[in-house]
Structure 1
Amino acid sequence: MLDTVEQVRPADRPAEPPRKARRPRRELLPYLLLAPAILLELLIHIVPMMVGVAISFLKLTQFYLRNWKAAPFAGGDNYKLAVNINQPAGKALLHSFAVTLAFTILVLGFSWLLGMAAAVLTQRTFAGRGILRTLFLIPYAMPVFASVITWSFMLQRDTGVVNHVLVDQLQVVDHRPFWLIGQNSFYSLVIVTIWRSWPFAFLCLTAGLQSIPGELYEAAALDGAGIGGQLRRVTLPLLAPVNRVLILVLFLWTFNEFTTPYTLFGKSAPHQADLISMHIYQNSFVTWNFGTGSAMSVLLLLFLLVVTGSYLVAVNRRTEHA
């Protein structure tokens, strides 16, 4: 009898679920999906950057283009030439850096102000808000070359729309200014770049405003806060995370701006609008001095890394103390 019971008990026990076999392929799947992106990142950014660093230590000119590895080793001569402000090359680079810094501050500041104002004005629902927002985003959505070439035609001295409106229609000035040469070229470049950049700020700030509850504005209004008080006490503090990222991105984009001045002025920008990106381009592809141009590019990269790191450290410290 006991033998019969013992024989029945194992059969009555529920069968253990089969153990799942290990699937190494599934563990490798994320890495396989990331592999194309990593490969393209290496081919498009990392490898060219390392080649540029290597070229900066060579006396690479048009005589060694076919075999750039045969170019003489320059050591740190290219860097010394770029930073020596007593030499023409160093003075020109310093001037270009100062122009780029002023250009970046103006474009970043006005782009943020216009984007913030437009985002706040279109925050509440009203008739035609969607159409107005769409119109605001047109400069950002347009191809860069098409929009900047249009501006270059508008800024022409004799046939441009700008002079036609200012001189013929409004009679603000009694002569037709040159907008693409001299000191006016700097202001023209700033205006065109702001026109292209501020919709991006508007888009980011509008997205940030959508996450702010309307009850906070109602509570602030009940406490007697006006529009300025609501902006200072509710909007700006809650938009701080968005503004931190937005300001950094706008700074990096604007400081490295190349397409707009190249399309607006061509290969040779005026002295007053000689941005550092155009200056490096001229040293590399106009005078065929790739070693000096690469050294300037490396110095620009180091400067941007230092600024970005300092900005992130300062922001993190301020966030921790807040």
Structure 2
Amino acid sequence: MNGKEIAIDVSGLTKSFDGKVVVHNLSLKVPKGEIYGFLGPNGSGKTTTLRMLCGLLTPDSGSGTCLGYDILTQAEAIKRNVGYMTQRFSLYADLSIRENLEFVARVYGVPNPRRAAAEAIGRLGLTTRADQLAGELSGGWKQRLALGACILPKPGLLLLDEPTAGVDPKARREFWDEIHTLAAEDGITVLVSTHYMDEAERCHELAYIAFGELLARGTAKEVVAQSGLSTWIVTGTDLHRLATRLEASDGIDMVAPFGAELHVSGRNKRALDQAVEAARKADGAHHWMRGEPSLEDVFILLMDEAKDNFA
């Protein structure tokens, strides 16, 4: 990767539960100091992958390193150097923000726990709420507290599992601003799973996993370019009826509503254009214009084409 130091380097990771393959032959390289987005539908294997990387799960097969430690034989060392933020808030609801952070600092043996907690509180804008009980916080404030707990031991890697689910847009933006600061100023590597396309576009690189299989990776622009997708944008009345007709047309791989528009896409540009031309001649009530495929267009198509490993 252009001479960059690698924080995560794994190959062939496979994990099954009750005979069902949840992650299959997954290989991943994440450069140090980068924010790497991990995307995919629910049940696609993202959380299982994160747990294998941080030493909480042992893969059935595969190998690799995380922060230079072997994921098969040095799991305890990995745990000491990784901050893992789970989907569910996991701190103590009946302790204040300050008490939670001081407790975490003591558990990890951080020198001067009170000062470390105070620094985290100041950095994340929690000063005015430092003595508020964690259980009384809104989703956005809980998210900041959880991030503060993760960074207290000064980890080299953050694994964030859908950290902004259910959080308002302002809190989401502030969270991502802090993530970029941690990567740029502290050199922390971040692997973050998300369902939000605007968040995915803020990552340095992306990996898309569906039903245990890694389907695409690269920068946002590279993922869109690699898809080979062409897109038309349609506006007008009764788009739902039009979408139903278009979905049955040869050459059209995906029809997706976006507000007052339809995105009509296909991998074969010539076949798509022929299908669009036929639709335009049959119905002059809509306005068609050529558009650029979005990251969301690509991921919807990948999800539609993926094979459900639990089916």
- Rg bigger for which structure? 1
Q: Normalization by structure 1: what TM-score?
A: 0.22
Query: Larger relative CO (CA 8 A, sep 6+): 1 or 2?
Result: 1
